[in-house]
């Protein structure tokens, strides 16, 4: 087990910047997820930890060792890829044992390690099969088994569940969380799926266009996104964003004018703002209340017309057209048979659950909480 430290990592391919000044400290035993859209540099960063890619500048430390220029085999890491890369002509046993045999480990030790890993992954009954006779989930377990027997200091996963169907992905997600709990080994896990990131991570690093946008626990990112990118990327359905203007500024906050001339006072610092300034307002669908149903704090009421209703059974998604071209999506528990397209509906907002961003997309500082 070991901590991993990324110091000012930058990477260029053919002069094109792919990673810029990445600083991340991964704690010993932590489950760290790198998440971001396709092409943002997640795999490149993971491969830099593995030694499969050389950083253009910066340092990689694993444990107390500086490994920036060390070959992959010297780093004590094991990597699991999206494509399982199993040897098709070898049995599951031999696939898992391959690295140990190559390292000329004694036969009894290899036997013991393979059986222990297979038991952990519940694939003991498959040890005599070839990969072609396995399902996708079983193959991925074999690939994970192959990395477990090497007893790495750090596990590196690059989108290991992306090839699996949705139901299996959810199941494997839970199994990987349990596996991490049992082994306690540091994990760095790459995914483009924010749900995977939210459910699996101790902490998440959100990457975008080669930059680290924010690092924090899942709930820190959900509750206090630093910027509009993180706000829009974490959470489903996506946060609503509306154009608003500043109506007034005082010690305790900034009053904004929402579409439809509705005022809402937000508990944020407004020292550089003046009436008339334009801002972006954000609120998650699950934090938009139905006036008829809400019991908590109400700081503003907005009226709109229902344009789309999506029934999920246990909850409902409603798309509302409010003033002008603005639309707001809301998510509410319950079936709500009473809501139909074309209805007028009043929705309510709680300022503590809303977000304000400047036009550069940076979140304004909260004056409380």
Q: How far is CA 369 from CA 51, 227, 353, 366, in A?
A: 41, 17, 11, 7
Give the C-alpha separation, 3 to 252, whole Å. Answer: 42
- 334 belongs to the binding site for ligand ADP (CB under 6 A): no
What count of residues does the chain have? 369
Q: Cα 183 vs. chain centroid, distance in angstroms?
A: 22
CB of 196 to Mg ion, least distance (A): 13
Sheet order of strands, 57-62 included: 16-26, 4-13, 57-62, 65-66
Nearer to Mg ion, 160 or 235 (CB): 160
The answer to whether residues 4 and 186 touch, using CB atoms and an 8 Å cutoff, is yes
Q: Does position 332 bind Mg ion by CB under 5 A?
A: no
340 contacts 319 by C-beta, under 8 angstroms: no
User: Which parts of 25-64 interact with Mg ion (CB under 5 A)?
Assistant: 43
160 near ligand ADP, judged by CB under 6 A:
no
Phi/psi of residue 238, each to 5°?
Answer: -60, 155
Q: How far is the CB of 191 from ligand ADP (least distance, A)?
A: 10
Least gap, CB of 41 to Mg ion (angstroms) = 8
Which residue, 82 or 255, is less far from ligand ADP as judged by CB?
82
Per CB under 6 A, does 233 bind ligand ADP? no
Strand partners, 333: 315
- Confirm or reject binding of residue 82 to Mg ion (CB under 5 A): no
Q: Is the CB of 175 or the CB of 193 nearer to Mg ion?
A: 193
Count residues binding Mg ion (CB under 5 A): 1
Q: Which of Mg ion, ligand ADP, none interacts with 38 (beta carbon under 5 to 8 A by kind)?
A: ligand ADP
User: Which entry of Mg ion, ligand ADP, none binds 41, CB below 5 to 8 A by partner kind?
Assistant: ligand ADP
Here's the x/- map for ligand ADP, 13-52, by CB under 6 A: it reads as x----x-----------------x-xxxxxxx--------
Task: Residue 40: name its binding partner from Mg ion, ligand ADP, none (Cβ under 5 to 8 Å by kind).
Answer: ligand ADP
Q: Give the whole-angstrom CA distance, residue 325 versus residue 259.
A: 9
Q: Smaller CB distance to ligand ADP: residue 205 or 264?
A: 205
Smallest distance, Å, CB 19 to Mg ion? 13
The residue at minimum Cβ distance from Mg ion is 43
- From the number of C-beta atoms within 10 Å of its C-beta (0-12, 13-18, 19+), residue 88 rates as exposed
Applying CB under 6 A, what is the total number of residues that bind ligand ADP? Answer: 10
CB-CB contact of 118 with 124 (8 Å): yes
Q: How far is CA 99 from CA 93, 103, 139, 176, 183, in A?
A: 11, 6, 17, 22, 19
- Which residues contact ligand ADP (rule: CB under 6 A)? 13, 18, 36, 38-44
């Amino acid at each position: 087990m070991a901590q991993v430290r990324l110091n000012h990592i930058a990477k260029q391919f053919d002069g094109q910047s792919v990673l810029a000044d990445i600083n991340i400290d991964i704690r010993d035993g932590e489950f760290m997820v790198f998440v971001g859209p396709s092409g943002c540099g997640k795999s490149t960063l993971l491969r830099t930890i593995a030694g499969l890619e050389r950083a253009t500048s910066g340092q990689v430390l694993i444990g107390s060792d500086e490994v920036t220029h060390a070959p992959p085999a010297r780093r004590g890491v094991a990597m699991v890829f999206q494509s399982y890369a199993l040897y098709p002509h070898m049995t599951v046993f031999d696939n898992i044992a391959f690295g140990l045999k190559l390292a000329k480990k004694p036969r009894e030790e290899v036997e013991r390690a393979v059986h222990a890993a297979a038991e952990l992954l519940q694939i003991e009954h498959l040890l005599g099969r070839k990969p072609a006779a396995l399902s996708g989930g079983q193959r991925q377990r074999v690939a994970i088994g192959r990395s477990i027997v090497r007893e790495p200091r750090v596990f590196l996963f690059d989108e290991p569940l992306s090839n699996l169907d949705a139901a299996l992905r959810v199941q494997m997600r839970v199994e990987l969380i349990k596996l991490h709990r049992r082994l306690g080994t540091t994990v760095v896990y790459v995914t483009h799926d924010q749900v995977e990131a939210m459910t699996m991570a101790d902490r998440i690093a959100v990457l975008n266009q080669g930059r680290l946008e924010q690092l924090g626990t899942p709930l820190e990112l959900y509750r206090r996104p630093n910027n509009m990118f993180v706000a829009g990327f974490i959470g489903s359905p996506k946060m609503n964003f509306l154009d608003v203007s500043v109506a007034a500024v005082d010690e305790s906050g900034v009053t904004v004018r929402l579409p439809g001339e509705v005022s809402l006072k937000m508990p944020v610092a407004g020292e550089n703002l003046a009436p008339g300034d334009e801002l972006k307002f954000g609120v998650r669908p699950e934090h938009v209340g139905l006036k008829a149903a809400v019991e908590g704090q109400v700081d503003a009421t907005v009226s709109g017309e229902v344009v789309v209703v999506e029934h999920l059974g246990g909850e409902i998604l409603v798309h509302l057209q409010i003033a002008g071209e603005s639309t707001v999506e809301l998510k509410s528990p319950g079936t709500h048979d009473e809501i139909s397209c074309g209805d007028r509906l009043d929705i309510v907002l709680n300022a503590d659950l809303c977000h304000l961003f400047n036009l550069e997309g940076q979140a304004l500082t909260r004056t409380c909480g």
